């Protein structure tokens, strides 16, 4: 596939092939999997690649070293990552706790239907941002928010049919807008941004909010 800037990027099918899960694919624009269901299939290390879709990853009691573009993070306990197209990601997994929880959700803008492009998603949701850390920790009061939403989506995905597909789509949209509220209410915070990056992000989001208000 080609992204809006014309660069070739790999699609969901290619990504699933790279992590030994292609046999579980059910839709070309969407996928979700639970880490503990594939402990023996998932590679411990995933090399850096450029993909043309969005990823949301939330884990609890797993540990991995993650490199996103030029940044390195240690993801442990409960966190959530919002990875956008064109970000290069490599993962070195140290531990997947069988008693923990962890999901990866993949989707393209086409899957959501209410948006038309990658840029539109950048505009609507502040956590999808190429210039800032994609890894966030969740404050105690809402720490199970993403795990609970992803678990619901996953359960419908296991029993995949046309009706469940529409329920999945609705849950993904609800999760994105609820996450946006958490973000602006400071219930999720970046684990790695510098003060200058945080100020830049706040300024960008203020501009986005102003544009949205003018459209109403």
Whole-number pLDDT of residue 203? 52
Whole-number pLDDT of residue 93? 74
On whether the pTM is more than 0.85, the answer is no
Q: Tens digit of pLDDT for each residue in 7-34?
A: 456 899 999 998 999 999 999 999 999 9
Q: Which residue has the higher pLDDT, 194 or 30?
A: 30
Q: What is the mean pLDDT of the chain?
A: 79
Cα–Cα distance for residue pair 35/10, rounded to 1 Å: 21
Helix (H) or strand (E) holding 214: helix 195-215
Burial of 75 (0-12, 13-18, 19+ CB in 10 A): buried
Least confident of 1-5, 34-38, 189-193: 1-5
The predicted model gives 67-83 an average pLDDT of 73
Answer yes or no: are the C-beta atoms of 122 and 84 closer than 8 Å: yes
């Amino acid at each position: 596939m080609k992204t809006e800037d014309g660069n070739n990027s790999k699609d969901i099918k290619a990504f699933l092939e790279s992590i030994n899960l292609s046999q579980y694919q059910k839709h070309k624009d969407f996928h979700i999997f639970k880490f503990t269901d594939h402990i023996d299939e998932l590679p411990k290390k995933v090399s850096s690649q450029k993909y043309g879709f969005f990823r949301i990853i939330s884990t609890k009691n797993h540990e991995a070293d993650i490199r996103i573009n030029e940044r390195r993070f240690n993801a442990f306990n409960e966190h959530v990552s919002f990875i956008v197209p064109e970000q290069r990601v490599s993962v070195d997994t140290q531990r997947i706790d069988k008693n923990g929880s962890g999901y990866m959700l993949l989707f393209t803008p086409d899957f959501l239907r209410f948006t038309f492009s990658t840029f539109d998603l950048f505009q609507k949701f502040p956590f999808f941002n190429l210039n800032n850390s994609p890894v966030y920790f969740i404050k105690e009061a809402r720490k199970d928010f993403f795990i609970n939403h992803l678990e619901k989506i996953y359960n419908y995905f296991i029993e995949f049919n046309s009706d469940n597909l529409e329920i999945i789509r609705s849950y993904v949209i609800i999760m994105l807008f609820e996450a946006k509220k958490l973000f602006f209410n400071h219930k999720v915070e970046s684990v790695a941004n510098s003060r200058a990056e945080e100020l830049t992000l706040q300024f960008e989001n203020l501009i986005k909010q102003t544009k949205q208000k003018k459209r109403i």
